[in-house]
């Protein structure tokens, strides 16, 4: 008869010591760490978009009707064909291409800081926009949709107790004011939803990068979710920070 | 009283075979990893022109070329592809992110311990399989042969697969003749989020790049993908009689590239951006251009839509046309059934 | 237990390490000779001046080129290592392979500096040749034979001792040998680096030694004084392309001809194409500049090698970019 062999089967779950239950002198429970305290990656600082992809659609305003790469529906294309920057200016809607889904693909610099322990602030110089990423049980206030919408964030960390501190950020944004995915009027509507995965990469030479996988859902104007990835390089300071207001043309 | 938590299973009367089976299942090391196995469908929502029809002949936008890299690119003639001896030369491994193809990724494991020894990224019709060795082996000597796939080693940093490729042959950074030298190295980061895969590749070439080329691409898991793991055979074919004259190598002499002004004339893109100067990658370059000096082309005339749904039941648009090819003629032919990736979890 | 248990289990089951991995070929520190395996029975010795090829088999070592004189002792040490690796034991006695033949691809000092010592460390294929007389002459006094094109001997001349000269010269298109179970051909390639260049092909090993015709570390050396020319160099590169078989049509397979250049790594047809195209481009640019009336000085200033200079050029050393441009110019410029 085989001696019983104790086999511990660990498939990525932690052997957690269970806390002492009940009894006298139960210790006070400590509050869970804040989002800021538990951040597995440090996104704060100054970052610059390196426009190495889709240059002529991101660095400059592309021509009317140039929708290459974007999986638009016919309805989206029909609406995009009516793009008129003068009309947007007259209506005070110069910021249509600076809403969250389109903003991040622009030629931007980011300044990321903690507004408080549960809110990460992402500012851009291009368009002078501010995105707020809310952690925890944040409830969106009532109000009209905005260019940046409501963003709910959470950290994703590998389920391994001994893994080095690392992870990524998932952000879901909705309640968006209709805007443009591209400067030349490629639309997204009020029901659009933006999902982002923010990762970090550090090169051997110390260069740090944020890599964002961005997925825009809009069943009205997009045939399939518009999925792109972006990279931002860390800068040592904000000396190149150059705030420019929204422009419907440039 | 305290309790020791012992998470496990007492296996009484376990046979060796059973223990081996359990052993095969127990394959997760101390640090976290993700499973990259599967068929990953290419989402060509960026750089569709480059990845599908191909860039214009002199379009170096988005690159920081060195002066030598620029001169080398400008000397390139597409007729080189007609050289018999060039027709079957593979692209270099970083073409994973520039090609239009989906990827099949699979692991090869130690049959006894079950740990992954290597991750493999499938080849394409014109690129070799990329093998990412995870077993800690060192890179070979610089004097060793450079295979088409280069030599890649990797490790996990949390959930991210980090890899480094050396021993890369001279080849092309992009298909319009922007070259990469055999001093090139590539650094990879592979991120998986649910059914989405994003690969970042940092290509460093001290000869032809003024700064590394950093590109990221995304794919979506497709359980129905049928992607081959090896490339197709290649047979050279005589195309241009002239290049079969021994020693005739098509190229452009310095200052004689006939296409050098095409991007500027067609899209009004400034020359320094067309020619891949380093400063043009950064937002501050826009200070040199502004709404007064840069006038957008009025209307798109070629490759206007990589994707379009024409006449689908939910949003038919009679009479709606789009230019999907390199002409300035409308083309209303739908591009086939698109792959719809799953919603992010 | 708070840790994953598989390590304990594998230890208990006595599972040894399975991982073999590639042989760790690390480049030796500067000044050392590196043994680079090319085939099971073929090695490249790198770092000896020019690359040396070694075919191993029952006949002993067949060596292509012997490196620079200053590195000969290191070359002999490397061959000693190979001899150790490939020795056979017969009736309790170790039989270590010896150098039996040396092939010289040209008279460049980086290729023939070790001729005398390596030859004397070797063993003639002719029996009974150690003593004086005709037998000794035939048998090179017991030393390994050295084969090269006749012009190699002419070019070596008084600058080298007689013992370093090829013992067998050939004229004509080629010379063929069958050694170590392989068909070996010395193929004459006129007017490339010089008028004495040979390409050495090994049919069964499927390896080609190119001599100075192909150099992964620099622009090709063209010695006009010794009969080299740019057109001869390009012709030689195209001939190499004819001989080097790529992995076609099954491109993903490992099989292909390996091409060993004068310096630099082991290559194949794809690397050769790149080099041939580069040399042809420079030739064409210089040719165009000459036809447009530019002088040599003007051509040097215009730098016809520019796209390739960072990779192959040198501003100092025995072969500079300027020297290369001058050689190309003089090859092409009509003589007045």
Distances (CA, A) of C107 to B21, B261, C82, C261: 65, 49, 26, 16
Test B306 with A201 for CB contact under 8 angstroms.
no
Statement: residue B139 has pLDDT above 70 = yes
Q: How far apart are CA B23 and CA A67, in angstroms?
A: 53
Mean predicted confidence (pLDDT) in A142-170:
88
Residue A147 in domain: yes
Test B343 with A217 for CB contact under 8 angstroms.
yes
Contact C60, C98 (CB under 8 A): yes
By three-state DSSP, how is residue A45 classified? strand
Domain chopping of chain B, boundaries = 39-221, 299-337
| Strand C258-260 with C197-202, pairing | unpaired
pLDDT recorded at residue B313? 35
Test A9 with C5 for CB contact under 8 angstroms.
yes
- Measured in angstroms, the CA of A8 and the nearest CA of chain C are apart by 6
- Which residues form the domain of A211? 45-154+164-234
Contact A224, A93 (CB under 8 A): no
Q: How far apart are CA A45 and CA A239, in angstroms?
A: 12
Test C249 with B88 for CB contact under 8 angstroms.
yes
pLDDT tens across B211-225, in order? 999 999 999 999 998
Mean predicted confidence (pLDDT) in B174-200:
97
> Read out DSSP for C227-280?
T--HHHHHHHHHHHHHHPPP--SSTTSS---EEE-SSSS-B-HHHHHHHHHHHH
Test B253 with C284 for CB contact under 8 angstroms.
yes
| Strand C258-260 with C207-209, pairing | parallel
Give the phi and the psi of residue B116 in degrees, each rounded to 5. -75, 125
Helix axis angle for C6-13 and B16-25, nearest 10°, is: 140
pLDDT recorded at residue C128? 64
Statement: residue B24 has pLDDT above 60 = no
Mean predicted confidence (pLDDT) in C226-253:
96
Q: Give the residues across from A146 on adjacent strands.
A: A176
Q: Domain tally for chain A? A: 1
Mean predicted confidence (pLDDT) in B243-251:
80
Among the partner residues B26, B141, B169, nearest to C5 by beta-carbon distance: B26
pLDDT recorded at residue B303? 83
Q: How far apart are CA A162 and CA B168, in angstroms?
A: 35
Test A8 with C2 for CB contact under 8 angstroms.
no
Instruction: Pick the range with the lowest mean pLDDT from B107-121, B326-340, C116-130, C204-218.
Output: B326-340
Residue C75 in domain: yes
Q: How confident is the model at residue C216 (pLDDT cuts 50, 70, 90)?
A: very high
Test C19 with B169 for CB contact under 8 angstroms.
no
Cβ atoms within 10 Å, residue C201:
23
- Measured in angstroms, the CA of A41 and the nearest CA of chain B are apart by 11
Q: Higher pLDDT residue, B289 or A139? A: A139
Provide, rounded to the nearest whole percent, the portion of chain B with pLDDT above 90. 59
- Considering only CB atoms, which chain C residues are within 8 Å of A161? 2
Statement: residue B261 has pLDDT above 80 = yes
Statement: residue C309 has pLDDT above 70 = yes
> Read out DSSP for B296-342?
--SB--SS-EEEE--S-GGG--TT-----SSSSS-------PPP-PP
pLDDT tens across C145-167, in order? 999 999 999 999 999 999 999 99
Mean predicted confidence (pLDDT) in C5-28:
38
Residues 183-212, chain B, touching A (beta carbon < 8 A) = 187, 189, 191, 193, 196, 198, 200, 202
Residue A32 in domain: no
pLDDT tens across C107-137, in order? 999 999 999 999 999 999 887 655 677 777 7
Contact A105, A122 (CB under 8 A): no
Test B28 with C36 for CB contact under 8 angstroms.
no
Residue A198 in domain: yes
Q: How far apart are CA C151 and CA C195, in angstroms?
A: 7
Residue A175 in domain: yes
Give the phi and the psi of residue B262 in degrees, each rounded to 5. -60, -45
Statement: residue C321 has pLDDT above 70 = yes
Residue C188 in domain: yes
Instruction: Pick the range with the lowest mean pLDDT from A5-9, A82-86, A127-131.
Output: A5-9
Mean per-residue pLDDT of chain C: 90
Provide, rounded to the nearest whole percent, the portion of chain A with pLDDT above 70. 86
Q: What is the ipTM of this complex?
A: 0.89
Residue A220: burial class (beta carbons within 10 Å; 0-12, 13-18, 19+): middle
3-state secondary structure B122-159: CCECCECCEEEECCCCCCCCCCCCCCCCCEEEEEEECC
pLDDT recorded at residue B228? 83
Q: Domain tally for chain C? A: 1
- Considering only CB atoms, which chain C residues are within 8 Å of A15? 1-3
Provide, rounded to the nearest whole percent, the portion of chain A with pLDDT above 90. 79
pLDDT recorded at residue B297? 80
Mean predicted confidence (pLDDT) in B128-145:
97
- Which residues form the domain of C72? 24-283
Q: C99: domain CATH number? A: 3.60.15.10
Statement: residue C26 has pLDDT above 60 = no
pLDDT recorded at residue A160? 64
Statement: residue B1 has pLDDT above 50 = no
Residues 316-345, chain B, touching A (beta carbon < 8 A) = 316-317, 320, 322-323, 338-341, 343-344
Half-sphere exposure of B220 (CA within 13 A, CB side): 21
Closest CA to B121 of B132, B137, B134: B132
- Considering only CB atoms, which chain C residues are within 8 Å of A162? 3
pLDDT tens across A187-218, in order? 999 999 999 999 999 999 999 999 999 999 99
Mean predicted confidence (pLDDT) in B201-205:
98
pLDDT tens across A18-74, in order? 444 444 556 667 888 899 999 999 999 999 999 999 999 999 999 999 999 999 988
pLDDT tens across B95-112, in order? 999 988 899 999 999 999
Mean predicted confidence (pLDDT) in B117-146:
94
State which residue of chain C sits closest to B126, comparing Cα positions: C251
Among the partner residues B110, B170, B235, nearest to C248 by beta-carbon distance: B235
Residue C241 in domain: yes
Mean per-residue pLDDT of chain B: 84
Statement: residue B333 has pLDDT above 70 = no
Closest CA to C85 of C77, C96, C74: C96
Instruction: Pick the range with the lowest mean pLDDT from B4-18, C22-36, C227-241.
Output: B4-18
């Amino acid at each position: 008869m085989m001696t019983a062999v104790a086999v511990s089967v660990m498939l990525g779950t932690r052997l957690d010591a269970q806390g002492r239950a009940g009894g006298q002198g139960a210790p006070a429970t400590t509050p869970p760490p804040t989002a800021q305290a538990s951040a597995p990656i440090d996104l704060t600082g100054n970052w610059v978009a390196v426009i190495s992809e889709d240059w002529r659609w991101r660095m400059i305003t592309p021509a009317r009707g140039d929708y290459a790469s974007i999986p638009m529906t016919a309805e989206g294309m029909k609406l995009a064909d009516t793009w008129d920057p003068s009309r947007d200016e007259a209506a005070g809607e110069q910021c249509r291409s600076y809403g969250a889904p389109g903003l991040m693909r622009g030629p931007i610099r980011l300044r990321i800081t903690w507004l408080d322990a549960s809110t990460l602030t992402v500012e851009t110089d291009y368009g002078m926009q501010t995105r707020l990423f809310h952690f925890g049980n944040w409830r969106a206030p009532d109000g009209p949709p905005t260019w940046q919408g409501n963003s709910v964030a959470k950290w994703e960390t590998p389920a391994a107790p001994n893994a080095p501190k690392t992870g990524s950020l998932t952000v879901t944004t909705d309640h968006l004011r209709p805007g443009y995915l591209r400067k030349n009027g490629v639309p997204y509507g009020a029901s659009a939803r933006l999902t982002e995965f923010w990762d970090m990469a550090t090169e051997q030479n110390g260069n740090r990068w944020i890599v964002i996988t961005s997925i825009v859902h809009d069943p009205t104007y997009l045939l399939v979710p518009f999925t792109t990835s972006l990279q931002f390089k860390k800068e040592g300071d904000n000396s190149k920070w150059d705030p420019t207001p929204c422009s419907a043309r440039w | 009283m305290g309790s020791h938590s012992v998470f496990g299973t007492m296996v009484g009367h376990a046979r060796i075979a059973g223990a081996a089976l359990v052993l095969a299942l127990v394959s997760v090391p101390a640090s976290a990893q993700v499973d990259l196995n599967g068929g990953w469908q290419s989402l060509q929502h960026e750089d569709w022109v480059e990845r599908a029809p191909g860039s214009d002949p002199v379009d170096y936008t988005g690159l920081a070329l060195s002066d030598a890299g620029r001169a080398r690119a400008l000397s390139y003639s597409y007729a080189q592809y007609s050289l018999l001896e060039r027709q079957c030369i593979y692209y270099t491994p970083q073409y994973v992110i520039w090609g239009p193809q989906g990827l099949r990724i699979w692991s090869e494991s130690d049959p006894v311990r079950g740990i992954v020894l290597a991750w493999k990224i499938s080849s394409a019709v014109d690129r070799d399989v990329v093998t990412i060795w995870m077993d800690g082996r060192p890179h070979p000597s610089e004097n060793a042969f450079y295979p088409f796939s280069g030599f890649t080693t990797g490790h996990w940093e949390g959930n991210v697969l980090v890899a480094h490729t050396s021993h890369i042959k001279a080849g092309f950074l992009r298909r319009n003749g922007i070259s990469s030298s055999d001093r090139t190295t590539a650094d990879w980061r592979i991120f998986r989020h649910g059914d989405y895969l994003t690969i970042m590749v940092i290509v460093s070439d001290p000869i032809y790049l003024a700064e590394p080329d950093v590109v990221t691409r995304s794919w979506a898991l497709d359980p129905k993908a049928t992607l081959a793991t090896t490339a197709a055979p290649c047979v050279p074919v005589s195309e241009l009689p002239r290049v079969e004259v021994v020693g005739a190598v098509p190229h452009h002499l310095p200052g004689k590239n006939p296409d050098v002004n095409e991007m500027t004339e067609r899209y009004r893109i400034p020359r320094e951006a067309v020619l891949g100067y380093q400063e043009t990658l950064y937002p501050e370059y826009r200070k040199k251009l502004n709404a007064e000096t840069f006038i957008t082309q009025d209307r798109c005339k070629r490759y206007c839509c990589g994707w379009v749904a024409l006449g689908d039941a939910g949003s038919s648009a009679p009479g709606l046309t789009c230019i999907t090819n390199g002409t300035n003629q409308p083309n209303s032919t739908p591009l086939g059934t698109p792959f719809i990736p799953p919603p992010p979890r | 237990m708070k840790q994953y248990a598989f390590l304990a289990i594998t230890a208990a089951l006595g599972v040894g390490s399975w991982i073999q991995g590639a042989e760790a070929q690390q480049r030796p520190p500067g000044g050392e000779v590196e043994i680079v395996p090319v085939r099971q029975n073929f090695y490249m010795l790198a770092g000896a001046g020019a690359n040396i090829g070694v075919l191993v088999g029952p006949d002993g070592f067949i060596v292509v080129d012997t490196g620079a004189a200053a590195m000969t002792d290191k070359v002999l040490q490397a061959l000693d290592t190979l001899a150790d690796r490939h020795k056979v034991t017969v009736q309790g006695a170790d039989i270590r392979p010896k150098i039996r033949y040396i092939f010289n691809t040209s008279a460049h000092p980086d290729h023939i500096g070790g001729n005398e010592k390596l030859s004397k460390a070797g063993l003639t294929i002719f029996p009974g040749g150690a003593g004086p007389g005709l037998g000794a002459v035939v048998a090179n006094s017991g030393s390994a034979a050295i084969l090269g094109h006749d012009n190699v001997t002419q070019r070596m001349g008084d600058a080298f001792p007689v013992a370093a000269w090829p013992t067998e010269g050939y004229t004509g298109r080629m010379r063929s040998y069958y050694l170590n179970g392989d068909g070996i051909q010395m193929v004459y390639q006129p007017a490339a680096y010089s008028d004495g260049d040979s390409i050495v092909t090994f049919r069964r090993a499927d390896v080609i030694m190119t001599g100075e015709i192909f150099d992964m570390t620099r622009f090709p050396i063209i010695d006009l004084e010794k009969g080299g020319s740019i057109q001869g160099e390009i012709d030689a590169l195209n001939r190499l392309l004819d001989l080097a078989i790529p992995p076609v049509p099954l491109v993903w397979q490992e099989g292909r001809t390996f091409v060993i250049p004068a310096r630099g790594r082991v290559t194949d047809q794809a690397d050769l194409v790149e080099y041939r195209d580069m040399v042809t481009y420079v030739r064409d640019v210089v040719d165009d500049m000459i036809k447009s009336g530019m002088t040599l000085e003007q051509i040097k200033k215009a730098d016809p090698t520019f796209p390739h200079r960072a990779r192959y050029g040198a501003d100092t050393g025995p072969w500079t970019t300027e020297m290369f441009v001058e050689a190309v110019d003089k090859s092409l410029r009509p003589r007045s």
